[in-house]
């Protein structure tokens, strides 16, 4: 079992819709969770982090964490074509290093 798992997609949503991206992780001791956005040919860019169970909102982005289910999600409201990218879920493992999922490709169609 991989440490961080994501559906590779692509996930296609129409412009203005809500995009929902999901991630599961295997290390029950993990405390810190991150979402990165990566455009083609570019490096990852941090967009959200969450440490506590529940929801955390920042603009059009909401991160959701459920430690009991070992599940993290990212909601993007009012999706725009510029949101089209690969979204990487990442988890701090062993208290020391960030482990990434393979990423979910999001396509927002105008």
Partner 1 sequence: DTGVSQDPRHKITKRGQNVTFRCDPISEHNRLYWYRQTLGQGPEFLTYFQNEAQLEKSRLLSDRFSAERPKGSFSTLEIQRTEQGDSAMYLCASSLTGTGVANYGYTFGSGTRLTVV
Write out the residues near partner 1 by the rule CB under 8 A: 4, 8, 32, 34, 36, 42-46, 49, 51, 88, 90, 92, 96-103
Residue closer to partner 1 by CB (options 49, 61) is: 49
Number of residues that this document lists for the chain? 110
Q: How far is the CB of 62 from partner 1 (least distance, A)?
A: 17
Dihedral of CA atoms 55, 68, 88, 21 in degrees, nearest 10, equals -60
Q: How far apart are alpha carbons 50 and 12 in whole angstroms? A: 25
Q: How far is the CB of 68 from partner 1 (least distance, A)?
A: 21
């Amino acid at each position: 079992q991989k440490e961080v798992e994501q559906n590779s997609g692509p996930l296609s949503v129409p412009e203005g819709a809500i995009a929902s991206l999901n991630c599961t992780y295997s290390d029950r001791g993990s405390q810190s969770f991150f979402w990165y956005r990566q455009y083609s040919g570019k490096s990852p860019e941090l967009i959200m982090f969450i440490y506590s169970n529940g929801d955390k909102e920042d603009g059009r982005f909401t991160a959701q964490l459920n430690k009991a289910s070992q599940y993290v999600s990212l909601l993007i409201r009012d999706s725009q074509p510029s949101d089209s990218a690969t979204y990487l879920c990442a988890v701090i493992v062993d208290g020391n290093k960030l482990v990434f999922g393979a990423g979910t490709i999001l396509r927002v169609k105008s």
